[in-house]
Chains A and B, each alone.
Chain A
Amino acid sequence: MSVPGQWYLILAAALFTIGALGLLIRRNVLVMFMCIELMLNAANLTFVTFSRMLGDIGGQVVVFFVLVVAAAEVVVGLGIVVAIFRRRANASADDLHVLKG
């Protein structure tokens, strides 16, 4: 009937990989946040896929909670970005070295 779960898992692994790569190579804080969202979505896709493969609603419940935590994370993260922008008008992670000894 449906596409096998392995295909979904491979797709989720690819999506997670792209997100991790973006997080490592991009310097813009906002784009790095978006890459974190990509990785969260890959994990969500994996959870839903296992939920379907095992016939267990628990995977979907976990995705529900991940959505909530992702929303909270974005709100606080963007608040931090806005607070940083008060000090310096630049969104590059390279400039955030004031804690460096």
Chain B
Amino acid sequence: MLGAVHPTIPDSLTFAVSAAVILSGAVGVIVSRNAVHAALSLVATLFGVAVLFIEEQADFLAVVQIIVYAGAIVVLFLFVIMFLGVDRRENVADEPLRGQRPTALLLVAIALGGVVALGVSAHWATGARAVAGSTTAGHHANVYVLGKSVFTTYLFAFEATAALLVIAVVGAVVLARRPRMEESAGLTGDEPVADEPDGDPAEPDAADGSPTHEEVSR
């Protein structure tokens, strides 16, 4: 399967187009003045990576990449950008720290050179047997093999990610809440009943939420 040295024309074409989309999208992310444009460039990159996943027979991951990344994460980014009203242009040419960009370029060039040098010189691919199962065990579909591996060999890690997701959701809710009840009570001169967590949380939210929104959306 991997023996052929020369890739076929469709494969090469797919790779070339995807690589161009990925790299142009990535460059678009870091040079866009507008955060919304950066998010849309990110979608292009994620989509190109998904195409390459299909090209490498990782069908399930390609679909998940589209759904989770392009469908959920980027939408979350766009939601936060528009919610916070930061979709105004930003002066990219302005350099707050002098010499930061040349230094960053130098460091990144060193890192890339190190990675390429290691990749060329090291021989880490030992050709050892697969421990998690072959990608095409018994000519099963990719989803079958991946699911079997996730729910047997990596079951504990899978359950740990479930706990991680719950913790992340709770953490996000805690972070996104209004700062503090006594603070808002002090600001708005509300009665101390507002300190009670479930005693009509909508009213103090609206009370100190409106100036924040006005200030942010300007």
By the criterion CB–CB under 8 Å, are B108 and A71 in contact?
no
A43–B173 Cα distance when bound, in Å, is: 29
Q: Contacts of A96 on B, CB cut-off 8 Å?
A: none
By the criterion CB–CB under 8 Å, are A38 and B149 in contact?
no
- Asked if A72 meets B164 with Cβ closer than 8 Å, knowing A2-B2, A44-B49, the reply is yes
Looking at chain A's contact residues, the main secondary structure is helix
Residues of chain B touching chain A, judged by Cβ–Cβ distance below 8 Å, are 1-2, 4-5, 7-8, 11-12, 14-15, 19, 22-23, 26-27, 29-30, 32, 35, 38-39, 42, 45-46, 49, 52-53, 55-58, 60-61, 64-65, 68-69, 72-73, 76-77, 80-81, 83-86, 90, 92, 96, 100-101, 104-105, 107-108, 111-112, 115-116, 119, 125, 127, 130-137, 142, 145-146, 149-150, 153-154, 157-158, 161, 164-165, 167-169, 171-176, 179, 212, 215-216, 218
Q: Contacts of B52 on A, CB cut-off 8 Å?
A: 8, 11, 45, 48
Looking at chain B's contact residues, the main secondary structure is helix
Per-residue 0/1 for A44-60: is the Cβ within 8 Å of any B Cβ (1 yes, 0 no)? 11001111111111101
Residues of chain A touching chain B, judged by Cβ–Cβ distance below 8 Å, are 1-4, 6-11, 13-22, 24-28, 30-31, 33-35, 37-38, 41, 44-45, 48-58, 60-61, 63-65, 67-76, 78-83, 85-86, 89, 91, 94
